[in-house]
Amino acid sequence: MQGRVVTERVTLMGGVDWHRRLFDALIPLPEGTSYNAYLVKGSEKTALLDTADPATTDELLQQLEAEQRIDYIVAHHAEQDHSGTLPELLVRYPEATVLATEKGKGMLVDLLHLPPERVEAVADGEQRSLGDRTLTFIHAPWVHWPETMLTYLDEERILFTCDFFGSHYATSRVMVGDDAHVVSAAKRYYAEIMMPFRKPIERHLARLEDLDIAMIAPSHGPIWDRPDVIIEAYRDWVSGAVKNVAVIPFISMHGSTSELVDRLVTELVRHGVTVRPFDLTVTDIGDLAMAMVDAATIVIGSPTVLGGAHPQAAYAASLANALRPKTRFASVVGSYGWAAGSARALVEAMPALRVEVLDPVLVRGRPRADDLEAVDRLAATIAQRHGAL
């Protein structure tokens, strides 16, 4: 794909990866992704903002064939899907200087073996003139990684945000408007990648309030030409507000845990709680992560395996702990044969969640009438807690 026009002075480059289905050997990509780089041409100098994943190095180099000189290459983030083409670009453009934060400089030198003399650290708020265009750098540590930086193109009012406001979404479109499908892809991206950094993101959102932003240009997915759409979505996602939703990731070996989960779902619905059950044998972890963004409660359903939780349930608990959603309540339901250790193991696997742990329901073998009544009480407790939010 050739470079695509954003404005007269800004060109979208990089690669659209239509077929990639897994990111970091971990994150499902149901709609592919893109690795966006942006060429900004001033009257005197030219800057390339971010590069691309090594898998699309040839595509980016081909797009840049007509460029005789690049003065600055801005590295917003040291991860390879944004900076992986830097070594090749520094060979092609020996006059180019890489601009990054101080921490970013060290990481680029260590991770990509860049020559230290080719990388210059820029301060928060520092500007670089391209002639009739000006780049302003905004440090945004812990908007995903500690060295993250944003760039504001003053004259065009474009904010280049790297992973911030991004979406794993392969498309030929340059602008997104207010497309609800892309907003959903951005929520998935937030859930899988950005949610653990909710508090730093909230602070950086406040910093952006003083900027006059006409477009937000991330390094994954299309450009937000209605920036209010994604900014307001992020404000909602990072806020402390939760919704009347219970997420139930579960797995069942012989049907007993499924019986408990089915009863819990029925009772929660009867009490007016929205329920999102996820059978962990077939669940896309991105869908599960998205459901956790707003949910007030997480209940994990697991049988006991060799004195502990089922490995798939343990993974769900580990995922919740790593993503640190704003969930308020958690519990466990499950069945066991000769040892009842799953509840303790699952609760202990989620120390980063600041939740009230509700009494678990663990039964030996198939549930009896009094076991199902215990599930009913758990459902009533969840509904009561949600009603008090």
pLDDT at 339: 74
b/e map 330-353, b = 16+ CB within 10 Å: bbbbbbbeeebbbbebbbebbeeb
Percent of the chain with pLDDT over 90: 93
pLDDT of residue 330: 97
pLDDT, average across residues 174-188: 96
Q: Are strands 215-218 and 158-162 parallel, antiparallel or unpaired?
A: parallel
pTM of the model: 0.94
pLDDT of residue 343: 82
Specify the CATH number for 243-381; select among 3.40.50.300, 3.40.720.10, 3.40.50.2000, 3.40.50.360: 3.40.50.360
Q: How are strands ordered across the β-sheet holding 215-218? A: 127-129, 134-139, 149-153, 158-162, 215-218
Q: Is the pLDDT of residue 360 over 90?
A: yes
For every residue of 295-357, DSSP letters joined together read EEEEEEE--EETTEE-HHHHHHHHHHHHH-----EEEEEEEESS---HHHHHHHT-TT---EE
Q: Is the dihedral of CA 237, 227, 48, 59 positive or negative?
A: positive
Q: What is the pLDDT of residue 344?
A: 84
- Residue 341 pLDDT > 80: no
- Under the banding of pLDDT at 50, 70 and 90, the label for residue 63 is very high
The pLDDT > 70 percentage for the chain reads 100
Residue 340's pLDDT band (cuts 50, 70, 90) = confident
Q: What value does the mean pLDDT take over residues 236-242?
A: 96
For the cut 90, the answer to whether the pLDDT of residue 24 exceeds it is no
pLDDT for position 230: 98
Residue 3: per-residue pLDDT: 94
- Copy the structure tokens of residue 219: 């390094």
Q: What is the pLDDT of residues 78-115, one digit of tens each?
A: 999 999 999 999 999 999 999 999 999 999 999 999 99
Structural domain boundaries in the chain: 4-238, 243-381
Q: Are 4-238 and 243-381 in the same CATH fold?
A: no
The 8-class DSSP code of residue 293 comes to T
Across the chain, mean pLDDT equals 96
Tens digits of per-residue pLDDT, 1-23? Answer: 789 999 999 999 999 999 999 88
73-83 pLDDT, tens digit each:
999 999 999 99
Q: Which CATH superfamily is domain 4-238 in?
A: Ribonuclease Z/Hydroxyacylglutathione hydrolase-like (3.60.15.10)
